Structure 1
Amino acid sequence: MQKLGAVRRALEAGELDGGMDRLLYGDLTAARRRVAALLDGFRQTFDAGEDTPVVLCSAPGRTEICGNHTDHQHGRVLAGAVDLDFLACAAPNGTNTIRFQSQGWPLAEVELDTLEPKEEEKGSTASLVRGMAAQAVEKGYPVAGFDVYAQSDVLPGSGLSSSAACEVLLGVIENHLFCGGALDPVTIARMGQKAENVYFGKASGLMDQTASSVGGVVAIDFAEPSAPMVRPLRVDLDALGYALCIIDSGADHADLTPEYDAIPREMREVAACFGKTVLREVEEADVLRELPRLRKAVGDRAVLRALHFFADDRRVEEETAALAGGDMDAFLSLVKASGRSSWTLLQNIAPTGAVKEQAMAVALAVAERALKGRGACRVHGGGFAGTIQAFVPLELLDGFREQVESVLGTGSCHVLRLRPVGGVVLWS
């Protein structure tokens, strides 16, 4: 670790430029200002001196490319890290308390005298801090108190998974400060999932954390969740002539946890009809053959969601092959098919019973019209609210963004890049 003052001097001398460029920070002048503000925030928040040894760490948001609600059924997904991240300055504080300050949010303080989940912390940043520390301790590492000042440009409620980025960030910090770098990216991802499931109290698969932790574009097979198979892909959308856009529908995820939780629950209900735990253990042919019985046992929506799982799980392999071969026509056709399946079978475009307000459906209709029969768009992430995803031909990008924002509001269309690295120590 280097002292705070030394890091500041290295920043001013341009010694961090290579690392920031690797993380696709773009305008290096703006990136230097961001890091300088981060160092100032750390110093002011924790009354740190210039001789305080610190580490700079980053963890990216992620975009789901294919495999909508397949990971929690031990299925396959295609995902990528994006050029928005959680950036943090951290240092041991010599106490038994972790202090986590995310810019613009209340300070989270977690005492390490107890590492069990706390009911009163569920849904809070403190629960993620406790959950990540607890698991590092369970693995035999001597986690002690440390201070973190973080700044995030991962859009909240965007389906880019700011929570997973936060979990991976904490894992990277603890790995560096206390674990001697022994935790690999997939292990950190699994720690993040448990922190979110058990400590935060939100059901989720492992895709978000894996994509953020590993980085780049990855095809992930969760047939064995304790040891997922991760296949990195080389994907350069610019070279293929397309931009990745994430479009804010204008609706947020507040109070939608029951909608999200119903999807894995209903899929598991179908699996249980065959004596199995998840749909990956069930044959699609058996589901089709038993449709009359299943409809009576679990209801039509659960059956339709199961059919979506089988179709989107299979599409992951097809989209992976198309991207690996640079076949954008095949890839875009599959993106459209995935979007239709999410709408008609998975049914995660509008909350149950919503009639007057259907922001996701409107966003999809606006984006499809703006694409003029080219590119592709689909729901992004969990659905029901938040964002959609579009692959836009570069020559249409300016007009596409203008048309979308004329309806959904200025700043609603975010043009992102696929970041080649995941959770990482930027400077130590």
Structure 2
Amino acid sequence: MDETCPSRQDGIERARQLFCQEFGEPPAGGRLLRVHAPGRSEIAGNHTDHEGGHVIAGALDVAVYALARPNGTGVVRLASDGYPAIEVSLATLDPREDEKNTTAALVRGMASRMAADGRVPAGFDLAMTSTIPVGGGLSSSAAVEAALGRAMEALWEGRGYDALEMARMSQFAENAYFGKPCGLMDQASVCLGGLAFIDFAVADQPVAKHLEFDFEDHGYALCLVDVGSSHADLTDAYAAMPQEMQAVASAFGKSRLCEVDEAEFDLRVPELRRDLGDRAVLRAIHYWHENALVDKRWGALNAPDIDAFLRCTRTSGASSAMFLQNVSCGGESQPAMVALGLAERVLDGRGATRIHGGGFGGTIQCFVPLDLAEEFSARMDAWLGAGSCRRYRISNRGAYAEWE
């Protein structure tokens, strides 16, 4: 994505208008800190990161845009476009139960990690706007964390952080303060930028590789379809996936499935079904199946062989539905499954579809032939609501902050 593209300039200008509205015009000669953090799409690796597996993730051409400056107090004042302004006192940085699932928790969590690394937190004003659809599975929370982290890194004296270290700090804020037990993929992709293969075998030291790749150069549009159901009430359902996978690992004296020998798993399936239940066993099966598919898709992208990539993507989607079971919670309401079914009707065997990200609600991911992209968007919007289907491109730059 071109850093001078109109959408980026629009985002910065919206943030500037909000800043002046909430905090006043900057003094003559006063500089503002410009902050950018992209959304992300999980290209491959559905719930493999928290088990020490592999993923392919792509930063997208939607982002959090922010402007910030010190305010000389001990309070962070944050204005977010479309939401009430908040204030977070930095006098104490301990987690607060009443801040769970709020932006205030992310501010306090990121400040806590910065303080633990020797920085001295000080108040600042920050105005933030976003083009990332909220609740759409594009990691808006990870982008906010990374934006806050890059702002604090620039505003408070201390050492710089590489992309993966910033990602770990962001994950800590989401786990310990926001209250969502996420893996590291979202934050890593947001901080790295571009299309990245990430290996999480060493939990606190993931290894990343980059590839310059544009799906449209190979005949396909990357479309994400909002299924019309948010993630707000699904924290327990999300948490159950790593919990059940890790319960299987624990049966072997391990903490993550990447440490378990598959042959040993095969020998103990009857015992695992009895002790942990069928769903835990199925989710472990998904992990190994999906992890192998990530490697095949990375090889296909590097070849490049878009047809092989699409074949593996279709197989991945089936694994998530049948084994991981994160497409539907059952019952009459099955928005993601309906969206997948409708997308398949339009594609009619071409391209590929799969559940995207955490699952259950949010979005589905579709690789749509370019000659079908306009019709595909129109029909999905007609079924699911205007604006439900959106076409994305990979953005090459991860989260950053720079002085104007």
- What's the TM-score once normalised by structure 2's chain length? 0.97
CA contact (8 A) 2:31 2:403 kept: no
Query: 1:279 matched to which residue of 2?
Result: 257
Matched ranges for 1:47-126 at <5 A: 47-51=24-28, 52-126=30-104
Q: Does 1:408 align with 2:384?
A: yes
Distance 1:45 1:391 in 2: 41
CA-CA distance at 1:181 after TM superposition? 6.0
CA-CA distance at 1:108 after TM superposition? 2.2
CA contact (8 A) 1:234 1:324 kept: no
Query: 1:266 matched to which residue of 2?
Result: 244
Matched ranges for 1:10-29 at <5 A: 22-23=2-3, 26=5, 28=6
1:340 to 293, 304, 318: 318
CA-CA distance at 1:132 after TM superposition? 0.5
CA contact (8 A) 1:89 1:150 kept: yes
- The one-letter amino acid paired with 1:365 is G
Query: 2:15 matched to which residue of 1?
Result: 38
CA-CA distance at 1:180 after TM superposition? 5.5
Query: 2:344 matched to which residue of 1?
Result: 368
CA contact (8 A) 2:34 2:66 kept: yes
SS in 1 for 2:366: strand
CA contact (8 A) 1:74 1:222 kept: yes
Where structure 2 has 5 or more consecutive residues not aligned to the other structure, the ranges are none
1:381 to 357, 365, 370: 357
CA contact (8 A) 1:217 1:418 kept: yes
Q: Does 1:156 align with 2:134?
A: yes
CA-CA distance at 1:112 after TM superposition? 1.1
CA-CA distance at 1:355 after TM superposition? 2.3
Aligned sequence identity (%): 45
Distance 2:11 2:118 in 1: 35
- The one-letter amino acid paired with 2:250 is A
1:245 to 196, 209, 223: 223
Runs of at least 4 residues off by over 2 Å: 30-37, 47-53, 425-428
CA-CA distance at 1:143 after TM superposition? 2.5
CA-CA distance at 1:36 after TM superposition? 2.6
Distance 1:400 1:32 in 2: 29
1:227 to 190, 193, 205: 205
- The one-letter amino acid paired with 1:386 is G
Distance 1:33 1:277 in 2: 45
Aligned length in residues:
403
CA-CA distance at 1:31 after TM superposition? 4.8
Distance 1:407 1:41 in 2: 35
Q: Does 1:392 align with 2:368?
A: yes
CA-CA distance at 1:426 after TM superposition? 5.4
Distance 2:157 2:354 in 1: 40
Alignment CA distance shift 1:215-1:323 (3 Å)? same
SS in 1 for 2:32: strand
Distance 2:336 2:104 in 1: 31
Q: Which moved more, 1:59-68 or 1:102-111?
A: 102-111
- What's the TM-score once normalised by structure 1's chain length? 0.91
CA-CA distance at 1:286 after TM superposition? 1.4
SS in 2 for 1:53: coil
CA contact (8 A) 2:146 2:399 kept: yes
SS in 2 for 1:149: strand
1:198 to 145, 154, 176: 176
CA-CA distance at 1:35 after TM superposition? 2.6
Distance 2:393 2:157 in 1: 31
CA-CA distance at 1:413 after TM superposition? 0.3
SS in 2 for 1:142: coil
SS in 2 for 1:98: strand
